[in-house]
A = this chain, B = another copy of it.
């Protein structure tokens, strides 16, 4: 867009920088230990061991068993797998799935696909902070309900759902519980047993791991089958030559994220709240989206009235700041963010939203600079706006 290089990266919910430590761990698996992990010979066995270590490291972060972690190409594949395979495997029990209106498209579009195949889907509403209502969830459960899929934390507004309570309800009713934890894994503590989670999706590139690798946690006993059929990899449940460097990188990233979680997120929370406070005080006509407390440590989502999102993003970009927007124009789609609409924002306000997501390297100076630029840009765009009269 501009010639200026990105200097301040505030779109860590979209993707993160792969940390050098992760890259270093991956490197030997490209050019030295490049063997196919299904092979019997030494260079193949080295790959296999590396995969086992990564699987163990990841399982530990979730309180899961090693053999309950199945690697995929990312969060989208994990989401597709969980929903489509559960729909097939539990067709005798029923065809009803409960989810929410604020899920990621990897869930929502999969649900639409399943509707064409005969699934009935309940899309739960959320309140103005993006939280599901547990009573409504409870009421939505029917005898033919086979799956509840509710995200752990929302990618746009950062709201953290009451996962433990949802898990309890699912368990009481004997319904499978899947959670899309792509934004939550490595950011907030997760324990699949304590939270009664049966399946969980995650993606490495959200926690300073590599792109193109994710996993689906599947609790032992959940009888879903393959999504990708073929070779006997991943205990015959996910075919394809293992992406060994990706898996190794994911293992290191997960371990690292768990180890640094407490310190890192405390710092992020502080910076986040500092920025939100200042914006709300120093810029008029602005609103914080998402729950102020039950919120991902690194998520800031603001709506600026009279301002359109794409213009805002381009202007920030020209100042070297990478951010994102719930707005239409960025995602290739022109529809306004379904999440912002679901929390009740009117169309034209949803249109002027800005998401800033902090990363492990974000500093107070970055945010101070961003705030100064933001003030100026908002002023400029409001002057351009036919909706704004000062």
Contact = CB atoms under 8 A, between A and B. Distances in A.
Interface string A223-245: 00011111110001001111111
Contacts of A22: 30
Contact of A106 (B3, B105, B230): B230
A230 B333 contact: no
Contact of A241 (B205, B241, B313): B205
Contacts of A113: 226, 229
B77 A203 contact: no
A211 B74 CA distance: 14
Among A74, A113, A228, residue most surrounded by chain B Cβ atoms (within 10 Å):
A228
Given A27-B23, A211-B243, A333-B232, A322 B41 contact: yes
Contacts of A228: 73, 76-77, 80, 106
Contacts of A2: 42
Interface residues of A, number: 83
Nearest to A43: B6
B17 A322 contact: no
Interface string A1-27: 111111001010011111110110001
B73 A73 contact: yes
Contacts of A74: 73, 240-241, 243
Given A39-B322, A40-B1, A41-B313, A109 B229 contact: yes
Interface string A304-346: 0000001001101100011110000111110000000000000
A335 to B, nearest CB: 11
A242 B40 CA distance: 32
A239 B113 CA distance: 13
Among A211, A243, A244, residue most surrounded by chain B Cβ atoms (within 10 Å):
A211
A316 B375 CA distance: 69
Contact of A243 (B6, B14, B212): B212
A323 B39 CA distance: 9
Nearest to A246: B212
Contact of A41 (B38, B205, B323): B323
A108 to B, nearest CB: 8
Contacts of A70: none
Contacts of A79: 230
A162 interface: no
Among A35, A229, A232, A316, residue most surrounded by chain B Cβ atoms (within 10 Å):
A229
Nearest to A45: B1
Contacts of A42: 1-6, 317, 322
Interface of A: 1-6, 9, 11, 14-20, 22-23, 27, 30-31, 34-36, 38-45, 72-77, 79-80, 104-107, 109-110, 112-113, 203, 205, 210-213, 226-232, 236, 239-246, 310, 313-314, 316-317, 321-324, 329-333
28 contacts: A5-B42, A6-B41, A11-B35, A11-B41, A11-B44, A15-B36, A19-B31, A30-B210, A35-B322, A72-B73, A74-B240, A74-B241, A76-B231, A76-B240, A76-B241, A106-B229, A107-B230, A109-B230, A110-B229, A110-B230, A203-B241, A210-B245, A211-B241, A211-B242, A211-B243, A212-B241, A212-B243, A212-B245
Q: Which 7 A-B pairs have the closest CB atoms?
A: A212-B243, A106-B230, A73-B73, A76-B240, A18-B30, A6-B43, A41-B317
